[in-house]
Structure 1
Amino acid sequence: MERMGSIHRKVMVRQHKAEVMIAGEQLRLRLHDGKLIKDHRYHLRTYPNCFVAQEVIDWLVSHKEAPNRQVALQLMQHLIDHDIVHHVCDKSPIYKDVKLLYRFRKDDGTFPFNTEVKVFMRGQVLYEHLISGRDSILQLREEKGVAYQRSFPGCQLIDWLLQNGEVPSRRQGLELCKALLEHGIIQHVSLKHHFFDSGLLYQFCINFRRRRRLSELLSESEQDAEGVAPQRQEERPESPFVLRKNTPTEGNASFMSIQPSDLKVASGARRSSLTNQQVTSSYSHSNSLCSGPVVRCNPKSVLRKNVTCEELLSPGAPFIRRVLTVLGDALGWGFVVRGRSPCYVQAVDPNSPAAAAGVKVRQFVCQVNGRSVLHLDYRTLTKLVMTGPRTVVLEVMEPID
């Protein structure tokens, strides 16, 4: 029991680090969307994909992510302290409310992919696969008279890992699950046991898809510094650590506040659905990962005008047909699809495999891996991509501007 208490304390520290990674990634994507991250020229040198410190402070206050400039400054310093953001020349370890240039480590390839980060990213990938699967093992189950939403027996998770080719052997599956528990990705529903290949119930204790509020980072950090025990997870309705416990009821709406295709990713995760706010990728992401208050509405369409399938396929239509091959990485593919018959690309992570392959906003998706998807809605198309192979061959129709 004492060992489990020690593990739990370590888990809480790692969960906070994970939360910082997700919130930082969601902020990075939002700043890209807001065009605050771009190339800047300073002293005859161009610094790509960076932002002006003062402008981001302005943005945080104006978007109500921070009540004032002082808190905004503390938030950005928190991201520096956790290796999410750095000065472009690494000359200033202190974030200053001036016209200095800073950059997200994800944007310049200096993000430290240590063992902890790799385990976190692997957990995010598994979470996306499990939560999006047609016959998911995440179900409402009881243990000792208490019902837990989206829980799973340990042995069933290892079975799933083997069946889906995630691990080559049961022993390695057990080692992976133990690592996920030790790094705060999953946990026993009552926090009493380590991971065993048995019928004990476990849950993911991080909701990778929930949009984060940056102010949460400071409150959790202050609690850690003061040695104050954090509130129990079930007493914190906005917590990203969503251990749901209640009497048996039908439905799982309380677990997810937004659909897979309404996210942008994550992070720890750059892309958490095809991605990350509003994403649709599976190998995450973000990049889901995603940020801010709970989102319950769809984003505004980027289309200049609505187009029907008949218009897309009519001879002489002002569209160019392209075939694009997107090789997903550990975080996903990095693009968002929306719409219904036909679907279109709503957003693209600028540093994602999708962007590298030529996927662009306002492209209409005609085929996925040789299958026609013109008459599918975005949810069905999303599931098709997320449950398919890592390499996705897209046939798209691109409007001629």
Structure 2
Amino acid sequence: MEGTSSTRRKAMARQHKGEVMIAGEQLRLRLHDEKLIKDRRYHLRTYPNCFVAQELIDWLVSHKEAPDRATAVCLMQHLMDHDIIHHVCDKRSVLKDAKLLYRFRKDDGTFPFNTEVKIFMRGQQLFEHLIGEKDSILQLRQEHGVAYQRSFPGCQLIDWLLQNVEAESRRQALDLCRTLQENGIIQHVAKKHDFFDSGLLYQFCINFRRRRRLSELLNESEQHNEEVVISTQEDNHLESPFVLHKSQPQEGRIAFQLVGSSKDLKQVTSGHRGSLYSSQLHSAGFPPFVQLTSTSVICNPKSVLRRSYTCEELLAPGAPFMKKVLTVIGDDLAWGFVVRGMAPCYVQAVDPGSPAAAAGVKVRQFLCQVNGQCVLYLDYRTVSRLVMTGPCTVVLEVMEPLE
């Protein structure tokens, strides 16, 4: 499990680096077109293909690529940190909003064409070739009720690579595809499998033709960092403590069930029920439960499941589960349950006084559908997002253990 998650995090980091490369190259071409990049003289020396940082910051703000100068500087610093641009003399590692000369490394031949970059460029070349074909294998396909763009069966990509002499053998083609997956260029649609020469469905993670807005880079960087934190916490959730801030019980406050350091469910007095389900899952697989004060109670957020299940086990004929359809009508505070799991998702906790409890939502139920959409193969973040962004009334199809 740790190795798989570590590989996934590395692929995410490489995918983000690829997005930075694409955005940087698109910016470089635009700046050449608008003559911001040109030969410039400084202290009796001519520097070819340079831009002035201050002029570029002006341009980014005026073209609405950044809302203000500070953000524009952050964007350019991001490109500098990824070896896309540099000071002409490499004397400065921090970009300044000043009349200083900088240059794209592709314009002066200093861009680091290392193994990762070469793999990325190979992936881009394959994508352009595939997407440009009349009957491309990259199509909109559905799996388990979810549609995936630019997707293809693994065996079809292997066949295509051989037919177009991109590989000399099926083994070589398979190795190439696995390398592309490891570098975040392609992935299994549900992020559950390595690449196989089979009918499993994969897709290109990166749309190389889409025009990037520079502001996306910072958002993706923040999202990537958050994903790494969440993923790391989830890998170690059995050992990671969860901190609850608890105040003195007062009349009218409710209790919330969660798993503590022992195997039994504990009752923890909470404050305002609304805060418990109005957020995404963060700390060690749980959302922030309550915003309270006073002393801290450390609990280990172990899974309520007696053992883990795969989607195939749940769907197997004769499996000891019963399907139910539950309608949860949210109140002013929301719904009142917590989901967890990387697929299938299950109910980790339920607020006893919530609409979810009234509708029959119970811990250990697995989520099959949310408002008619299959979610069995989705992780808890995606399922939480579907619930949070959907209507107030949520229709859940769940599978409940027969015990």
What band does the TM-score fall into relative to the shorter chain? Answer: 0.5 to 0.7
Displacement of 1:67: 0.9
Task: Give the equivalent residue in structure 1 for 2:178.
Answer: 178
Query: In structure 2, do the counterparts of structure 1 residues 142 and 61 end up closer, same or farther at CA, with 3 Å as the change threshold?
Result: closer
Gaps of 5+ in 2: 232-279, 282-371, 374-403
After superposition, the C-alpha distances for 1:83-103 in whole angstroms (9 at most, x for unaligned) are 000011101111011111100
After superposition, the C-alpha distances for 1:148-200 in whole angstroms (9 at most, x for unaligned) are 33311111101100100111111111110000000010000110000011111
Displacement of 1:213: 1.1
Percentage identity across aligned positions? 78
Gaps of 5+ in 1: 233-245, 248-401
Aligned mates of 1:141, 1:92 — CA distance in 2 = 48
Query: In structure 2, do the counterparts of structure 1 residues 133 and 2 end up closer, same or farther at CA, with 3 Å as the change threshold?
Result: same
Displacement of 1:225: 4.4
After superposition, the C-alpha distances for 1:113-169 in whole angstroms (9 at most, x for unaligned) are 011111111001110111111221112333344443331111110110010011111
Aligned mates of 1:216, 1:142 — CA distance in 2 = 28
Aligned mates of 1:106, 1:209 — CA distance in 2 = 19
Aligned mates of 2:224, 2:104 — CA distance in 1 = 25
Alpha carbons 1:75, 1:214 under 8 Å: kept: yes
Query: In structure 2, do the counterparts of structure 1 residues 76 and 149 end up closer, same or farther at CA, with 3 Å as the change threshold?
Result: closer
Which amino acid is the alignment partner of residue 178 of structure 1? R
Task: Give the equivalent residue in structure 2 for 1:214.
Answer: 214
Which amino acid is the alignment partner of residue 80 of structure 1? M
Displacement of 1:228: 5.4
Query: In structure 2, do the counterparts of structure 1 residues 148 and 72 end up closer, same or farther at CA, with 3 Å as the change threshold?
Result: closer
After superposition, the C-alpha distances for 1:242-282 in whole angstroms (9 at most, x for unaligned) are xxxx99xxxxxxxxxxxxxxxxxxxxxxxxxxxxxxxxxxx
Task: Give the equivalent residue in structure 1 for 2:260.
Answer: none
Query: In structure 2, do the counterparts of structure 1 residues 142 and 63 end up closer, same or farther at CA, with 3 Å as the change threshold?
Result: closer
Aligned mates of 2:91, 2:127 — CA distance in 1 = 38
Aligned mates of 2:84, 2:122 — CA distance in 1 = 19
Alpha carbons 1:154, 1:201 under 8 Å: kept: yes
| 1:53 maps to 2:53 | yes
Alpha carbons 1:158, 1:170 under 8 Å: kept: yes
Q: Bigger relative contact order, structure 1 or 2, given CA contacts below 8 A and separation 6+?
A: 1
Aligned mates of 2:123, 2:42 — CA distance in 1 = 40
Matches within 5 A, 1:74-89: 74-89=74-89
| 1:8 maps to 2:16 | no
Aligned mates of 2:180, 2:229 — CA distance in 1 = 25
What is the aligned residue count?
235
Q: Max radius of gyration: which structure?
A: 2
Alpha carbons 1:18, 1:120 under 8 Å: kept: yes
Displacement of 1:62: 0.7
Task: Give the equivalent residue in structure 2 for 1:110.
Answer: 110
Alpha carbons 1:185, 1:205 under 8 Å: kept: yes
Displacement of 1:27: 0.8
Task: Give the equivalent residue in structure 2 for 1:129.
Answer: 129
Alpha carbons 1:158, 1:173 under 8 Å: kept: yes
Which amino acid is the alignment partner of residue 49 of structure 1? N
Matches within 5 A, 1:228-307: 229=230
3-state SS of the aligned residue for 1:8? Answer: helix
Displacement of 1:8: 1.4
Matches within 5 A, 1:1-400: 1-225=1-225, 229=230
Which amino acid is the alignment partner of residue 182 of structure 1? E
Aligned mates of 1:8, 1:177 — CA distance in 2 = 15
Displacement of 1:218: 1.3
TM-score when scaled to structure 2? 0.55
Query: In structure 2, do the counterparts of structure 1 residues 98 and 146 end up closer, same or farther at CA, with 3 Å as the change threshold?
Result: closer
Alpha carbons 1:4, 1:192 under 8 Å: kept: no
Query: In structure 2, do the counterparts of structure 1 residues 75 and 140 end up closer, same or farther at CA, with 3 Å as the change threshold?
Result: closer
Most deviating of 86-95 and 219-228: 219-228
Aligned mates of 2:55, 2:170 — CA distance in 1 = 51
Aligned mates of 1:96, 1:193 — CA distance in 2 = 44
Q: Over aligned residue pairs, what C-alpha RMSD do you find?
A: 2.2
Aligned mates of 1:110, 1:104 — CA distance in 2 = 9
3-state SS of the aligned residue for 1:150? Answer: strand
3-state SS of the aligned residue for 2:148? Answer: strand
Displacement of 1:229: 4.9
Alpha carbons 2:12, 2:224 under 8 Å: kept: no
3-state SS of the aligned residue for 2:50? Answer: strand
TM-score when scaled to structure 1? 0.56
Aligned mates of 1:148, 1:65 — CA distance in 2 = 29
Displacement of 1:220: 2.3
Which amino acid is the alignment partner of residue 111 of structure 1? F
Most deviating of 144-153 and 187-196: 144-153
3-state SS of the aligned residue for 2:203? Answer: strand
3-state SS of the aligned residue for 1:123? Answer: helix
Alpha carbons 1:4, 1:193 under 8 Å: kept: no
Which amino acid is the alignment partner of residue 201 of structure 2? L
